[in-house]
Each structure stands twice: as structure tokens, then as C-alpha cells.
């Protein structure tokens, strides 16, 4: 930074004084030309985390500012050693990140020639810590009010942020330091024990170990589940003068429920119902209000994007990050379209709620806006943030569509509709519940009709199973006799709990207070990349490596995989953030017991390494006749002979794709490039070299009958794989 920050410059000499001084000087000679001022000299510097965010902010700040990106963290604990001085009260030993050397050099140069440096990293713990590290790196004065935050990257959001600079919030920084040191202690102390007993390269983590444990426990529940048989009886009925059929389910007798465990019990009831009269015993009419869901927080956005679009959490957060950082929207210029996407707060600003009100009243009318504006309360949230909402409610998804990629549009539409619906009137349904008597046995039937659609005119979060429910029953009168159309018993079996999907896992983590919004996506990514867990469709399944690693950690470090312990640790980090608990006290309390477990584990984990069981396939090795097994390599899974080193036969693991090659008609296969990118090619390679980056579909072209391909992205479409066929249609036509 220039000296204008440190010292006041002397006043300039008057014009007359200058003339006298010049005359008294040495004889005139040609003076050297002054060097040109460096770019950005004297300007105010704003440091953000990403170039995309910086580009948007620069347009709002104008010529007096330079905006540069730190590209994330610039200082961290060293990778080569623990980096935490345990003997010196757990002091972290930060170093500059080597890969960031060019960025650091640029930041120092820019700061040196700037009149003021503003730190505008993300508004959360990580962002606060990055700003703190930048303060140290750039030698900025302590206590300088130069920390600015933007909840939204719009002209108003940037203006408000720059108008309210503050000092670094050390409580936020300390919460991040506590988390970082805890994770380092767990990872660097347990991992070597895993290397000793299982294999090198493995890692343990404070949150990732709990995630693996949850997935393993769920798989154990599924494997140990014993289905139980049960039966139901359903009567299909209609009125004497109205042939609209409806279904009534068997409930019991004389107000007591009867459970049917097997066919004999069901058949006994069916026999007693032979020739029975079905008479309406009771009719209950009611009204039910269905309130809109609250606006999105990080976890619920990830869950809904997974349910609706099949998006993995990383994909959802990538699109949300882009929408937050800003883009050029046709007709509106450059702006961020949504507020900060890492939040667990349900709070909405008065300005945002007013924007929603104006849109609802002008588009749908007064009936669709509640008498009392909706205000949602958060639980254990950083209320400095808002919920995830559109920054400019008047920009509808349709207006922004042409400026967005397919993923960005889907996420923006989801966020916009959810926010708008959260401010609308409830859906009102008329319900009816009928009890029907048949030879002393009771059947029940229920239905509903929508009297006022309310928020569902815009947004419906009904789950698939809810959508299959009946509509309204025909008008029924008490003591009315009905006509039996069909009566039958149905066999059922209880089902095991489902495997976790990313959506259901995130919901479980949130409900149990494990991790925070910013950690869900990267934690799931870590357990997948470490191959502790693998995907089977949308489901998450533990691998043999995950099971063995989880068992070793569970046996020796029970608290590390304990849900309640991990949740309590998150609560302590929240107390640090609130300034109610010293961060090093959290580390001290944890490490005392952890150190004892480490010493015991060091004694217990001895002997030969655990041999991992490879997955056996039905593919026979053509060289020695053994069943080949699945191995993991640099480019993914492959088949190998278990007879190694006597038999070294390997072959690629074929994953079939939908459709057929448009050139030769052979099956298509899913393949992986050397850079790890997925593509699809003909199974007849090298005889046929057809390949595509776009996803083959099971549907065929209505023009030529060849396989259709799906191209995602901003210009996404469905098109024919036959290069001589021009058939295509938009993704929104699917």
C-alpha cells in the first residue's frame, strides 16, 4: 500500500516559491521523463475469491477500483506434516500455498500501489478466514475496517456492502480455525494407522468417517432385513345411481383395527364378506390447508434438485455458485441472480418480500397473497444470511432462460418458484372420509378435491407417492347402500429401508446436526473419490474398502463415528462463532480423550494387513479359467484375473449404454477418456470408431429409427445420432 495510508503528505509549495527554487537551481538541463504510473496505482483494491464474482463486482464499482481474485485460500496448514504445534497449545503453523505463488505475488503488487484494500471474500467462516489470512499476507494494519460482504452480487448488494465495511470477525475466523485443526488432527493421526493395517493412501476425517458409517449401517440393515408377510383387502364400490368407482380399504371390526398376517387370515375375512351389504356408516367432511414450503436453504435445495432432476449435490452447488457470482442477463446487464447459496437461514429481507408481494398481486391477484405476510424462523442458523432467493424477483425464469445454461436455468427456476410460492396463500382442499359397514366389518375410503389452488398454481412439491392418491369421492349419504364391483385380498411384504441417495443422506446429516451447508457436497465427493462409497444409480453403497476402514475406525475410535458426538462438536463450533467459547478450549477438550485412543490403537493395530475381498464376476479368464474380479485403477474399474502374479490377464470392464451405433448397429458402451471424462462409443471399436460425448437414449428417432442423443448445456437438445438425419427437439419438449 502507498504511504498515504500511513503518513500525511506535506502541502505542495506555492507557484511563486517554485519559480524562485527553480531559478536558484543549477543551469537548466533536459529532465528525465517521469515513468508512467502503474496500472491501478492509487486506486482502491477489492479482493474477492473468484474471477467470475470479481468481474461482476468490477462493473458496479467503476474506475476508482481494481478487483482481483485470491482463487480461494492462499495460506493453509502444510501437507507434508501435521502443522499443528500440540505442545504449544495447538498453535496452527500456516504457510503460503505453493500453487498460489503467482496469485500471491500479484496480490502483493496490487496492494502495494493501492490507496485502500477491501477484503470481499465470501460471507461465511471460510471467507472470513481467507480475509484474515490476506490481512497477514499483505501486512494490512490490524483493526482496519476493510472487510465487506455481499449477500447478493447486484448493484444494490455491492453498494450496501461497500457502504458498511467492518473489521475482521475473529469469532468467525476462530470457528474456522477450530474446524481446520480438528480435521487435521483426526486425519493426520488416524490415517497412518489405516496405512499400516489396510493400505497406503487412505484417509480418515471427522465428518467423512460419520458419513461412511451411516452408509455402512444402512447397508447392514438392508442385508439383515427379514421380510414379513401381510395382507390387505380392498373393495371397489360405486353408488346405485353413479357408476364412478372408488376403493375402500379393510380396517377392522367394531372400531378395532385388524392386521392380516397371511392368506388364511385374509381368506377367512373374505369368506365372511360373501353376500355382504356395503352400507355407508359415517361421512366426515372437512377442510385442510396446505401451507407453502419455506424458501430454500443449502440442504433443501440440494435435496429438491436431486429429487426433481437427479442432480448430484456438487452439480447443484456449481450451478448455484455461478448464479450467485453473476452473469450477463439479456435486457438486465450483469448481475448475480440468486443470493449466497451456502446458508441455513430462512430469513428474507423486507425488500425481497415486498418484491414477491408485488409480483403475486399483479400476476395472480389478491386471493393469492395471504392477509399476514409469511415470515419463517430459522433454527441454529447464521441469521446474518438470508435464505436462497432471487436477487431481483421481477426477473422471471422465462426472462433469464436464454442467458443461462440448462443447469443454471433449472436451479434458477427452482429457487425463483420456491421463493415466490413461500410468500403465497395456502392451498385449500375439501376432504371427505367415509366409513362403510359390511357384515360388521369396517372399510374406509377417503378423497379430496382442491377448492383453492393457492401457491400450487406456481410450485408443487408433492412427492410421487402423494400424487397417486385419489381425487374426491362421489357424494355419499349415511345409511346409503353401495354396489360392490370387486373384492380381493392382496399379498404384501415389508420392505427394507432404502439405501441413501445424496438427497436423503444430506437430509439425515442436517437433521442430526452433522456438518454444515458448505460441507455436504465436498464430504460426499471425498468418500466417493476415496472409494469408500460408490454409486449404484442414484443410491450410495459402501465398498469393501469402506466397510473395512469403517470397522477399524469404529473399533478404535468410537467417538469419531458417533453421530451424537459429531453433532455436539458442531454445536461447540457454533458457540465459538458466537463468541461464547474459546476455540482452543474445544481442541483441548477433544484431544485429551483422543490421545488416549491413539495410544491404545497404536498397540492394538498390529499384525498383517487386512486382505480386501475383490468383487467376483461371472466373466471367465480365457487364460486360466478363473472367475475374474473387479479392480480399481487410475481410469476407473477394470477386470483382472485373481491368479496374479501367475496369471496377469486383465481386460476393461464394459458398461453398456442405451441404444445402438448409428453406423453399424452394434451396442454402445460407456467409456472413460484418459482425463477421466465420460463418453460413449461403439462396442465394435476399432472396426467402428463412432463416439459421442452426448448421452444415448433408449428412444429412437421418429424419422430414421436411429438412437437419439441428449446434449446438455446452454444449447441443450435431443437430436438424432445419424449424421444424415436432421431431427432434433428442445429439452423442454421431453
Closest CA to 65 of 144, 134, 148: 148
Phi then psi for 216, rounded to 5 degrees?
Answer: -65, -45
Q: Are 248 and 434 in contact (CB under 8 A)?
A: yes
Closest CA to 395 of 368, 356, 342, 369: 356
DSSP 8-state symbol, 459:
-
Strands (E), 270-326: 278-290
Q: What's the start-to-end Cα distance of the chain, in Å? A: 57
DSSP 8-state symbol, 145:
S
Residue 259 vs residues 273, 349, 518, 527: alpha-carbon distances, Å? 16, 52, 46, 43
Label the pairing between strands 44-48 and 116-119.
parallel
For CA atoms 570, 574, 576, 577, the dihedral sign is positive
Concerning whether 359 is annotated as a catalytic residue, the answer is no
DSSP 8-state symbol, 452:
E
Q: Are 70 and 134 in contact (CB under 8 A)?
A: yes
Q: Are 67 and 53 in contact (CB under 8 A)?
A: no
Give CA–CA dist 223/226, Å, rounded: 8
DSSP bridge pairs for 229: 493
Residue 657 vs residues 20, 635, 644, 651, 668: alpha-carbon distances, Å? 89, 18, 30, 18, 5
Three-state secondary structure string covering 601-623: HHHHCCCCCCCCCCEEEEEECCC
Label the pairing between strands 44-48 and 65-69.
parallel
Three-state secondary structure string covering 177-245: HHHHHHHHHHHHHHHHHHHHHCCCCCCCCCCHHHHHHHHHHHHHHHHHCCCCEEEEEEEEEECCCCCCC
Closest CA to 143 of 165, 122, 121, 161: 165
Give CA–CA dist 83/97, Å, rounded: 13
Closest CA to 483 of 707, 303, 278, 214: 278
For CA atoms 665, 670, 672, 673, the dihedral sign is positive
- Tell me how crowded residue 217 is: count the other CB atoms within 10 A of its CB: 15
| Residue in 60, 65, 94, 340 annotated catalytic | 340
Give CA–CA dist 63/49, Å, rounded: 20
Residues tagged active-site = 340
Amino acid at each position: 500500500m502507498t504511504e498515504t495510508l500511513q503518513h500525511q503528505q506535506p502541502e505542495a509549495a506555492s507557484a511563486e516559491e517554485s519559480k524562485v527554487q527553480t531559478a536558484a537551481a543549477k543551469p537548466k538541463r533536459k529532465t528525465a521523463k517521469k515513468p508512467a504510473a502503474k496500472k491501478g496505482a492509487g486506486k482502491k483494491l477489492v479482493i474477492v475469491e473468484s474471477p467470475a464474482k470479481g468481474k461482476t463486482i468490477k462493473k458496479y464499482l467503476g474506475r476508482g477500483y481494481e478487483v482481483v481474485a485470491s482463487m480461494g485460500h492462499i495460506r493453509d496448514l502444510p501437507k507434508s506434516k501435521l502443522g499443528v504445534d500440540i505442545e504449544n497449545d495447538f498453535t496452527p503453523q500456516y504457510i503460503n500455498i505453493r500453487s498460489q505463488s503467482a496469485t500471491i505475488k500479484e496480490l502483493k503488487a496490487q496492494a502495494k500501489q493501492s490507496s485502500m484494500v477491501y477484503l470481499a471474500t465470501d460471507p461465511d467462516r471460510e471467507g472470513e478466514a481467507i480475509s484474515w489470512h490476506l490481512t497477514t499476507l499483505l501486512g494490512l494494519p490490524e483493526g482496519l475496517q476493510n472487510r465487506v460482504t455481499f449477500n447478493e452480487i447486484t448493484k444494490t448488494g455491492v453498494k450496501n456492502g461497500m457502504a458498511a465495511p467492518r473489521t475482521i470477525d475473529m469469532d468467525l475466523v476462530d470457528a474456522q480455525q477450530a474446524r481446520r485443526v480438528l480435521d487435521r488432527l483426526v486425519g493426520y493421526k488416524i490415517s497412518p494407522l489405516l496405512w499400516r493395517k489396510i493400505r497406503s493412501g487412505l484417509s480418515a476425517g471427522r465428518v467423512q468417517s460419520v458419513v461412511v458409517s451411516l452408509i455402512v449401517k444402512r447397508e447392514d440393515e438392508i442385508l439383515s432385513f427379514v421380510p414379513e408377510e401381510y395382507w390387505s383387502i380392498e373393495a371397489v364400490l360405486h353408488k346405485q345411481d353413479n357408476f364412478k368407482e372408488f376403493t375402500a380399504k379393510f380396517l377392522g371390526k367394531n372400531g378395532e383395527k385388524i392386521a392380516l398376517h397371511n392368506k388364511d387370515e385374509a381368506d377367512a375375512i373374505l369368506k365372511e364378506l360373501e353376500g355382504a351389504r356395503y352400507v355407508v356408516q359415517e361421512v366426515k367432511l372437512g377442510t385442510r390447508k396446505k401451507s407453502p414450503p419455506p424458501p430454500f436453504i443449502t440442504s433443501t435445495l440440494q435435496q429438491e434438485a436431486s429429487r426433481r432432476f437427479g442432480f448430484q449435490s456438487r452439480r447443484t452447488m456449481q450451478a448455484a455458485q455461478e448464479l450467485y457470482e453473476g452473469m450477463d442477463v439479456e435486457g438486465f446487464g450483469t448481475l448475480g441472480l440468486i443470493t449466497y447459496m451456502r446458508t441455513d437461514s430462512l430469513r428474507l429481507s423486507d425488500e425481497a418480500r415486498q418484491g414477491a408481494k408485488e409480483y403475486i398481486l399483479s400476476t395472480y391477484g389478491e386471493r393469492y397473497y395471504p392477509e399476514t405476510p409469511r415470515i419463517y424462523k430459522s433454527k441454529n442458523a447464521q441469521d446474518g444470511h438470508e435464505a436462497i432467493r432471487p436477487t431481483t424477483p421481477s426477473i422471471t425464469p422465462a426472462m433469464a432462460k436464454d442467458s443461462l445454461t440448462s443447469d443454471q436455468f433449472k436451479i434458477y427456476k427452482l429457487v425463483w418458484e420456491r421463493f415466490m410460492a413461500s410468500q403465497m396463500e395456502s392451498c385449500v382442499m375439501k376432504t371427505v372420509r367415509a366409513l362403510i359397514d359390511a357384515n360388521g366389518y369396517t372399510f374406509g375410503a377417503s378423497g379430496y378435491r382442491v377448492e383453492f389452488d393457492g401457491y400450487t398454481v406456481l410450485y408443487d412439491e408433492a412427492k410421487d407417492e402423494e400424487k397417486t392418491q385419489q381425487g374426491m369421492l362421489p357424494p355419499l349419504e349415511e345409511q346409503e347402500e353401495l354396489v360392490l364391483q370387486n373384492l380381493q385380498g392382496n399379498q404384501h411384504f415389508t420392505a427394507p429401508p432404502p439405501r441413501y441417495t445424496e438427497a436423503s443422506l444430506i437430509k439425515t446429516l442436517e437433521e442430526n446436526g452433522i456438518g454444515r451447508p458448505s460441507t455436504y457436497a465436498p464430504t460426499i465427493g471425498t468418500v466417493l473419490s476415496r472409494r469408500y462409497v460408490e454409486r449404484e444409480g442414484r443410491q450410495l453403497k459402501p465398498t469393501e474398502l469402506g466397510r473395512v476402514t469403517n470397522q477399524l475406525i469404529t473399533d478404535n475410535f468410537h467417538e469419531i463415528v458417533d453421530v451424537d458426538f459429531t453433532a455436539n462438536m458442531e454445536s461447540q463450533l457454533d458457540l465459538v462463532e458466537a463468541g461464547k467459547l474459546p476455540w482452543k478450549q474445544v481442541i483441548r477438550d477433544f484431544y485429551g480423550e483422543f490421545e488416549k485412543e491413539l495410544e491404545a490403537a497404536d498397540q492394538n493395530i498390529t499384525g498383517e494387513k487386512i486382505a480386501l475381498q475383490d468383487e467376483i464376476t461371472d466373466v471367465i479368464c480365457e487364460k486360466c479359467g478363473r472367475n475374474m474380479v473387479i479392480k480399481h485403477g487410475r481410469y476407473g474399474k477394470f477386470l483382472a484375473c485373481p491368479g496374479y502374479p501367475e496369471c496377469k490377464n486383465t481386460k476393461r470392464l464394459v458398461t453398456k449404454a442405451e441404444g445402438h451405433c448409428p453406423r453399424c448397429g452394434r451396442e454402445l458402451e460407456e467409456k472413460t477418456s484418459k482425463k477421466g471424462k465420460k463418453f460413449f462409443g461403439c462396442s465394435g471399436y476399432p472396426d467402428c470408431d463412432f463416439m459421442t460425448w452426448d448421452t444415448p437414449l433408449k428412444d429412437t428417432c421418429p424419422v430414421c429409427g436411429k438412437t437419439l442423443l441428449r446434449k446438455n448445456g446452454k444449447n441443450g437438445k435431443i437430436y438424432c445420432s445419424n449424421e444424415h438425419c436432421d431431427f432434433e427437439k428442445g429439452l423442454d419438449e421431453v
